[in-house]
Structure 1
Amino acid sequence: MNDRTASFKTTLGPRGAEAPLSETAAMLAQSLQRYARDVMRPIGAQLDRMSPDEVAAPDSPYWEARRKFVELGFGVEALLAFEPEERGQMMCLLFETLGWGDAGLAISFGAGMLPQYMCALMGRTDLLERYPDGMLGCWGITEPDHGSDSIDPNRMIFHPQGNYGRPNCIATLTADEVIINGQKAAWVSNGTIAEVCVLYCAADTGDGPDAKRGCVVIVPMDAPGVSRGKPLDKLGQRALNQGEIFFDNVRLPRAHVLAGPDQFQDAVYAIHTAANGLMGATFTGLAQAAYELARDYAHERKQGGVPIIRHQSVASRLFHMFRKVEAARALTNRVVHYNFVSPEPALHVAMTAKVTATQSSFEVASDALQIFGGNGLTREYPVEKLLRDARASLIEDGCNEILAIKGGYYLADPERL
């Protein structure tokens, strides 16, 4: 280091250019970071090398990571116990740190909270008591024939000649019970291992199935008629179990209906708002991890007789990686805070966090691999895994292209059209 470099040295915190946390938040951050570093990273790396069946097996190391996460006490009830102003900060802190540890495990744990989160959001304390924090959840919405159109129940972006067609999963609603038949796609996170599902599907109240006026049902996964497919084998986020769920005449009391046809579109809006914020925080964490690895390697690796960080192109690349991480973090924190304190959360604002953070994570991970050079392509270094994990984020929870189109339509002012 020369005198010029030394005179401008500034030490930032683990979350970049952020004001100091409160004493409570700082203590939580320390325990989360220890867990992410000491548990998630080694177990995530181990799960990445295993087959999907091995990841889902009862003796899988996944369950050790899951057990230790539950012991930390960061469930839905703990998050909702904070005042709205602090709740957003805690959610971002939680999922950014988990994403820094391992994105696949982070999404598994986040999806695992969604049934409880939606029960709390809808004021259904009876269901929250029956299916409490600690029970691993999943979110069933996409179907074999319905992916992106599942997040557009109001047909906002449907082509004029488009036709949804027949749903793959239908819940028949009667006065006393709900009867579910059909299947959900292989992309259900925790699908083959979850204990409870928050199911979004078409509703039939006697006039035939209507996906536009669907319903949301809390489904215990040990209910008669529920079965699972094989765990999905995929490129990235291999620690995240995903797989199909089948429903064969599954009968549940009507009280398990969380949202009926008249509330369905609002329920889709609500869960996507939460999920997009969660994705923004998680993949900001992955981007931070990729940036840190690249910065450290740039100090260690020498070419031309000097550490490669002294080469202008490497320094410039690192700066832009740092800039993207900071921008993703700032936007995600702003968005999640707004949606927790606002009387009417904004889905299209949540979409900006998801799209920005996931795109940034992929770009930062790709730049990190470039700094590692040939070493980055090998499995001896963790950066290639980060690139694979980040690539999946551009598609999950609504592919970024569809989110941008739908988000753009939310910007239109009906009174000026």
Structure 2
Amino acid sequence: MNEYAIPESAGAKFQAAPLPFSRWDRLPGVKLGQVGAEPALPEITNDLQRTIHGFAEKVMRPIGRELDHLTPEEVICNTSRLWEFRNKYQELGITTQTLATFALEDLPAAVAILFEELGWGDAGLAVSAGVDLLPHYMAAKFGNEFVAKTYPETLIGCWGITEPDHGSDVLDSTGAIFQRGGNYGQPNCVAKITDGKVIIRGQKSAWVSNGPIAELCILYCAAETDKGIDPRRGAVLIVPLDALGVSKGKPLDKMGQRALPQGEIFFDAVELDIDHLLLAPEDYNKGVYAIHAEANALMGAIFTGVARSAYELAHAYAHERRQGGVPIIRHQDVAKRLFHMARKVEVSRAIARRVTTFNMMNGIPALHAAMFSKVTATQNALEVSSDAIQMFGANGVAREYPVEKIFRDARSSLIEDGCNEILAIKGGTLLIDPELLTATA
């Protein structure tokens, strides 16, 4: 892990105790630390932050920029530097098992900082690393030992849930977002559960992150039992993607996060032993809730890092670029814009850390809290990266400069893992207090 360690930030050194007022500078000026207005971190978390930041700077950024200029087919070919990233990330040893070695009180900050730093490095590669964890991480949360014993964590993971005819609505298994009289319609992917076997038919959409390169899928789909097909009482399965009957579509060509391979997965009568069934129909709603809470929390942390990367580039440029005979940061409007960019980064970081801590420490995670984090951080990432382009002026829209890529990467995030408008509707219904309704009836 030390290969990517970097020297300690030149930012603030936190004092053991506040300085007496008499020792303050006449005009105090305080530099924030590398992760903002953050008190001293535990040593293990601090070491993780420094290591991952060095990895993000030296590996992720250059590889992400190179992949951004390639076609989707070139990104996944065996000569692509995507595989260099994956090999070097694997050397860091970030697995479900290693995260479990953190003390419970240190784990939330460690996870939030890990994915913030990865997002700072490259949004698409960060999402790829995050979704990698999901098959094993969720199997462990569901109390399933079969996956860990059968499939190594070195396999590339993915999460198959959205379908050609069903986007964010598949994340709403309770139907909270549906208009009165609305109908889910025909599911695109169905798992038939029989004695000792599961047979999967259908497809998942082109938005499966890691889909074109994945080797192990945590699949959410409708279930067929002796009672028929009910998309609201589906199945959660672990599917090895080398199984007979699995095939993949071509990788998706998209505006942003081009380093993240996404594509369709097809299931043609894929037959698996019943051990691959993580959750049966009676637990499907809980399973959707659980993975969505985890995914939205990770998105909040990743896109905090994306916003921070745009802010830091703009901050540095504002000190270098001169207009009117002075660095542009001396102009009031530029200073004001930078302040609001920094404020949004701090807000995103605070809510990402707060939600991750609450959800890891609480008996049951709060999905609406995870939605707070995802919606806030992605919206702020879009706004901060847009302001960064404005700060760079005409240079901001040139591919020679990194901020236009960050803006494109951020734009996709308002749709990923549930579009923000749908999350707000769904999250609003989760705020309903049945006891208050009963009391006012």
Alignment-mate amino acid for residue 302 of structure 1: R
Deviations 1:360-401 (A, max 9, x none): 000000001100000001011000000000000000000000
Between the two proteins, what is the percent identity of the paired residues?
58
Q: How many angstroms does 1:85 deviate by? A: 2.1
Q: 1:87 aligns with which of 87, 92, 107?
A: 107
Q: Distance in 2 between matches of 1:137 and 1:182?
A: 19
Structure 2: which 5+ runs fail to align?
1-24
Alignment-mate amino acid for residue 29 of structure 2: K
Q: Distance in 2 between matches of 1:203 and 1:169?
A: 9
* Alpha carbons 1:77, 1:133 under 8 Å: kept: no
Q: Distance in 1 between matches of 2:100 and 2:296?
A: 18
The residue that corresponds to 1:180 in the other structure is 200
Look up the SS of the partner of 1:182 in the other structure: strand
Q: Distance in 1 between matches of 2:79 and 2:140?
A: 32
Q: Distance in 2 between matches of 1:271 and 1:357?
A: 19
The residue that corresponds to 1:143 in the other structure is 163
Q: 2:246 aligns with which of 220, 226, 233?
A: 226
The residue that corresponds to 1:32 in the other structure is 52
Look up the SS of the partner of 1:7 in the other structure: coil
The residue that corresponds to 1:98 in the other structure is 118
The residue that corresponds to 1:408 in the other structure is 428
The residue that corresponds to 2:296 in the other structure is 276
Deviations 1:1-23 (A, max 9, x none): xxxx9933312111000011111
* Alpha carbons 1:47, 1:239 under 8 Å: kept: yes
Q: Distance in 1 between matches of 2:167 and 2:99?
A: 30
The residue that corresponds to 2:146 in the other structure is 126
Alignment of 1:6-405 (within 5 A): 7-405=27-425
* Alpha carbons 1:85, 1:340 under 8 Å: kept: no
Alignment-mate amino acid for residue 423 of structure 2: L
Deviations 1:150-196 (A, max 9, x none): 00011122111111111000000011110000000000000010010
Deviates more, 1:75-84 or 1:47-56: 75-84
Look up the SS of the partner of 1:209 in the other structure: strand
TM-score, length-normalised on structure 1? Answer: 0.98
* Alpha carbons 2:146, 2:275 under 8 Å: kept: no
Deviates more, 1:216-225 or 1:10-19: 10-19
* Alpha carbons 2:190, 2:200 under 8 Å: kept: yes
Alignment-mate amino acid for residue 348 of structure 2: A
Structure 1: which 5+ runs fail to align?
none
Q: Distance in 1 between matches of 2:73 and 2:214?
A: 14
Q: Distance in 2 between matches of 1:85 and 1:205?
A: 42
Alignment-mate amino acid for residue 247 of structure 1: F
Q: Distance in 2 between matches of 1:309 and 1:128?
A: 53
What is the number of residues matched between the two proteins? 413
* Alpha carbons 2:211, 2:264 under 8 Å: kept: yes
Q: Distance in 2 between matches of 1:6 and 1:21?
A: 29
Q: How many angstroms does 1:126 deviate by? A: 2.0
* Alpha carbons 2:45, 2:106 under 8 Å: kept: no
* Alpha carbons 1:25, 1:90 under 8 Å: kept: yes
Q: How many angstroms does 1:82 deviate by? A: 2.0
Deviations 1:114-159 (A, max 9, x none): 1011111111122112223221100000000011110001112211
Alignment-mate amino acid for residue 36 of structure 1: A
Q: How many angstroms does 1:246 deviate by? A: 0.2
Deviations 1:303-337 (A, max 9, x none): 00000000000000000000000011001100000
Look up the SS of the partner of 2:353 in the other structure: helix
